[in-house]
């Protein structure tokens, strides 16, 4: 069965899945997702926060309510912690164990994308879209990050994908596992999963008569009932156990206030173009190709002659719904829109292979221009990367292999497209290889350089080996490092922000260890408080790549203090 429109000939050819393709794909996936996965310590508040919550889940045996630092943690539902607990219970509370589930979820997402490509179009599109997604910056970053976004995306996109294939390919049985995955998505990140899917399907129904006919043929009400039956028991349990605290902490604070108010103050992310910029940068070097496909699809929609492919209508509706919803939120993080990645790379793969089959198609003028910009964008990345490494960043000379490989790949891609008269190769192996080399360079050179500047894990381990069971352990205004200190110290931490509260601890008779920045210690000493330093180190106080600049700011002094007596 073939859907009408420009993409109907997508099913015309297929790549033989020979051993070479399998081997190369396996190497790419291993490098991007799993190679040296557990080497870096936890990066910023979120990783350590989730890992510590899961560790407490395992330690207490309370598998229904998440706790952080011995207090109820109402940030997200329970399912991610259950899944993260599987490797952590087997291998211990290590970085690699905490990150395994996001990495496997990313692998599953790549597989789901390939399945959608094969089910709706062809093996060609399945392989190309899956490899584009696998080598995307977002997958590389989030698969190695012990938070729930790859897990949530695998569930929510997987559920939406099953419903879409069930509708477009007249395979109604597929909708039921789709509803199951959506229920799991709600248990991972909350009702936002239903909001995103609902908005996407409403947009698709409004945009395409064919999509409307097919989607409305699904058992949507029965599916909604199944989703509620899967997800609601945990929410009801939490309300019965914690009552107003759960309502205020989860529903009001972590959802409504986070969406509608400047909870953390105004930031650059409040711009209405924030996610457009995020996607534009994150899709490089395929950005222009995708923009070209969007231009061609808009032209097809305006013609109203049925040339807009129903699948494209669904893909763009999914993208608009997610980007639009999170753009309306006052609080924005770049990874919130990660669920659009599979559809965008499916669109890129369709544009790529459509130009291979019909390089002079007048309906693909936008994609044709975008294709010719893939190589130049890679060259631009190479030049910018080389400049940063030589002029701005303090990295080993060997890291220059990254911009060199990207530059060679960009030149080769451009030359190949010109030589073929605008007809791209079946799979962009050269570009994919350059992206993989880039990630390998980040793993080999950049991550270790960042790791050398992170001292809080070592400080926390030092405290853990010195503090007696009766000693108080505290941190004072460590800000973004509080959660890492809590995880690596391995015991309850009093996270103090107010000077009066800190002075109460310092003036008391109970023994204590407190980690803080050097300037804070100097202020307490100036106030005459009886403190002495028992351990100190210099390192970065920020959690960004600024610490790699050649002209970096002076390192921050971290100290552990105890009573002078």
The answer, yes or no, to whether residue 268 has pLDDT greater than 80, is no
Q: What backbone phi and psi angles, to 5 degrees, belong to 426?
A: -65, -40
Q: What is the dihedral of CA 249, 251, 252, 256, to 10 degrees?
A: 140
| Mean pLDDT computed over every residue of the chain | 92
The answer, yes or no, to whether residue 551 has pLDDT greater than 70, is no
The answer, yes or no, to whether residue 325 has pLDDT greater than 60, is yes
The answer, yes or no, to whether residue 444 has pLDDT greater than 90, is yes
DSSP β-bridge partners for residue 516 = 476, 559
Measured from the Cβ of residue 464, the count of other Cβ atoms closer than 10 Å reads 14
The answer, yes or no, to whether residue 16 has pLDDT greater than 80, is no
In which element (H, E) is residue 521 found? Answer: helix 518-526
Task: Quote the CA–CA distance of 40 and 442 in Å, as a whole number.
Answer: 12
pLDDT in tens, 397-443: 899 999 999 999 999 999 999 999 999 999 999 999 999 999 999 99
Which one has a higher pLDDT value, 552 or 409? 409
Q: What's residue 11's pLDDT?
A: 56
Q: What's residue 253's pLDDT?
A: 82
Say if residues 43 and 145 touch (Cβ distance below 8 Å): yes
Q: What is the dihedral of CA 406, 407, 413, 416, to 10 degrees?
A: -140
CA angle in degrees (0–180, nearest 5) for 144-145-150: 90
Lookup: tokens for 334: 């770049």
The answer, yes or no, to whether residue 9 has pLDDT greater than 70, is no
Sign of torsion, CA 266 267 268 271? negative
Spell out the residues 6+ positions from residue 60 whose beta carbon is closer than 8 angstroms to its own. 67
Q: Provide the pLDDT confidence category of residue 256 given band limits of 50, 70 and 90.
A: confident
The answer, yes or no, to whether residue 330 has pLDDT greater than 70, is yes
pLDDT in tens, 296-323: 999 999 988 778 899 999 999 999 999 9
CA dist list (Å): 318 to 64, 89, 136: 32, 36, 19
Q: Provide the pLDDT confidence category of residue 252 given band limits of 50, 70 and 90.
A: confident
Say if residues 561 and 531 touch (Cβ distance below 8 Å): yes
Give the lowest-confidence range in 42-51, 146-155, 265-274: 265-274
When pLDDT is averaged across residues 179-190 and rounded to a whole number, the result is 98
Measured from the Cβ of residue 66, the count of other Cβ atoms closer than 10 Å reads 22
Q: What's residue 64's pLDDT?
A: 96
Q: What's residue 206's pLDDT?
A: 93
Task: Quote the CA–CA distance of 242 and 131 in Å, as a whole number.
Answer: 45
pLDDT in tens, 39-86: 999 987 899 999 999 999 999 999 999 999 999 999 999 999 999 999
When pLDDT is averaged across residues 326-339 and rounded to a whole number, the result is 94
The answer, yes or no, to whether residue 193 has pLDDT greater than 50, is yes
Query: Environment class of residue 177 by beta-carbon count within 10 Å: exposed (0-12), middle (13-18) or buried (19+)?
Result: middle
When pLDDT is averaged across residues 141-146 and rounded to a whole number, the result is 96
Q: Provide the pLDDT confidence category of residue 492 given band limits of 50, 70 and 90.
A: very high
Which one has a higher pLDDT value, 206 or 10? 206
pLDDT in tens, 106-121: 999 999 999 999 999 9
Task: Quote the CA–CA distance of 50 and 43 in Å, as a whole number.
Answer: 12
Q: What's residue 8's pLDDT?
A: 47
pLDDT in tens, 506-529: 998 899 999 999 999 999 999 999
Q: What is the largest CA-CA distance in the chain?
A: 85
What does the radius of gyration of the chain's CA atoms come to, in whole angstroms?
A: 26
Q: What's residue 2's pLDDT?
A: 38
Q: What backbone phi and psi angles, to 5 degrees, belong to 556?
A: -90, 145
User: Which residue intervals of 191-219 are DSSP H helices?
Assistant: 192-207, 209-215
% the chain with pLDDT above 90: 81
Task: Quote the CA–CA distance of 32 and 438 in Å, as a whole number.
Answer: 10
Range with top average pLDDT, 10-24, 471-485, 538-552:
471-485
Task: Quote the CA–CA distance of 459 and 560 in Å, as a whole number.
Answer: 8
Query: Environment class of residue 255 by beta-carbon count within 10 Å: exposed (0-12), middle (13-18) or buried (19+)?
Result: middle
Q: What's residue 4's pLDDT?
A: 43
Q: Which domains does the chain have, with CATH numbers?
A: 28-256+274-372 (no CATH), 374-452 (no CATH), 456-563 (3.40.190)
CA angle in degrees (0–180, nearest 5) for 131-429-371: 85
The answer, yes or no, to whether residue 269 has pLDDT greater than 90, is no
Lookup: tokens for 17: 């899945």
Query: Environment class of residue 242 by beta-carbon count within 10 Å: exposed (0-12), middle (13-18) or buried (19+)?
Result: middle
Q: What's residue 6's pLDDT?
A: 52
When pLDDT is averaged across residues 339-351 and rounded to a whole number, the result is 98
């Amino acid at each position: 069965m073939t859907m009408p429109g420009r993409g109907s000939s997508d099913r015309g050819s297929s790549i033989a899945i020979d051993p070479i393709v399998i081997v190369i794909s396996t190497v790419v996936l291993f490098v991007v997702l799993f190679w040296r996965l557990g080497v870096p310590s936890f990066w910023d508040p979120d990783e350590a926060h989730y890992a510590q919550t899961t560790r407490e889940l395992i330690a207490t045996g309370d598998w229904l309510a998440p706790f952080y630092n011995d207090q109820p943690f109402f940030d997200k539902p329970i399912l991610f912690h259950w899944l993260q607990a599987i490797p952590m219970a087997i291998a211990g509370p290590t970085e690699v164990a905490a990150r395994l589930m996001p990495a496997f979820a990313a692998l599953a997402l790549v597989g789901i994308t390939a399945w959608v490509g094969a089910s709706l179009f062809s093996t060609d599109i399945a392989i190309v879209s899956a490899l584009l997604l696998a080598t995307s910056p977002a997958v590389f970053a989030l698969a190695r990050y012990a938070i729930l976004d790859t897990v949530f995306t695998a569930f929510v996109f997987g559920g939406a994908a099953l419903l879409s294939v069930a509708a477009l390919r007249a395979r109604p049985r597929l909708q039921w596992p789709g509803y199951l995955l959506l229920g799991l998505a709600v248990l991972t990140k909350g009702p936002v999963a239903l909001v995103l899917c609902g908005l996407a399907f409403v947009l698709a129904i409004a945009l395409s008569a064919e999509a409307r006919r097919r989607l409305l043929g699904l058992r949507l009400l029965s599916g909604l009932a199944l989703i509620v039956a899967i997800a609601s028991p945990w929410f009801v349990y939490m309300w019965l156990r914690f009552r107003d605290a759960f309502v205020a902490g989860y529903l009001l604070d972590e959802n409504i206030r986070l969406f509608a108010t400047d909870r953390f103050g105004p930031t650059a992310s409040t711009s209405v173009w924030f996610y457009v910029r995020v996607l534009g940068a994150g899709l490089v070097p395929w950005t222009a190709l995708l923009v070209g496909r969007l231009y061609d699809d808009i032209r097809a929609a305006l013609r109203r002659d049925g040339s807009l492919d129903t699948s494209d209508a669904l893909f763009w509706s999914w993208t608009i719904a997610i980007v639009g919803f999170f753009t309306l939120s006052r609080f924005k993080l770049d990874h919130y829109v990660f669920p659009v990645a599979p559809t965008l790379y499916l669109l890129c793969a369709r544009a790529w292979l459509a130009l291979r089959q019909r390089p002079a198609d007048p309906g693909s003028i936008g994609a044709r221009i975008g294709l010719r910009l893939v190589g130049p964008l890679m060259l631009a990345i190479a030049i910018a990367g080389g400049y940063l490494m030589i002029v701005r960043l303090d990295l080993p000379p060997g890291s220059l292999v990254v911009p060199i490989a990207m530059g060679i790949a960009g030149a080769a891609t451009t030359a190949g497209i010109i030589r073929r008269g605008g007809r791209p190769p079946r799979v962009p192996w050269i570009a994919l290889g350059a992206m993989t080399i880039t990630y390998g360079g980040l793993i080999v050179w950049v991550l270790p350089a960042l790791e050398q500047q992170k001292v809080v894990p070592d400080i926390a381990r030092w405290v853990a080996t010195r503090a007696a069971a009766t000693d108080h352990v505290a941190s004072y205004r460590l800000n973004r490092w509080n959660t890492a200190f809590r995880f690596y110290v391995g015991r309850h931490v009093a996270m103090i922000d107010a000077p009066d509260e800190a002075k109460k601890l310092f003036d008391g008779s109970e023994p204590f260890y407190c980690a803080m920045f050097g300037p804070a210690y100097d202020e307490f000493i100036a106030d005459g408080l009886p403190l002495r330093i028992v351990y100190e180190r210099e390192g970065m106080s920020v959690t960004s790549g600024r610490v790699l600049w050649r002209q970096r700011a002076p390192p921050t002094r971290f100290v552990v203090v105890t009573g002078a007596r």
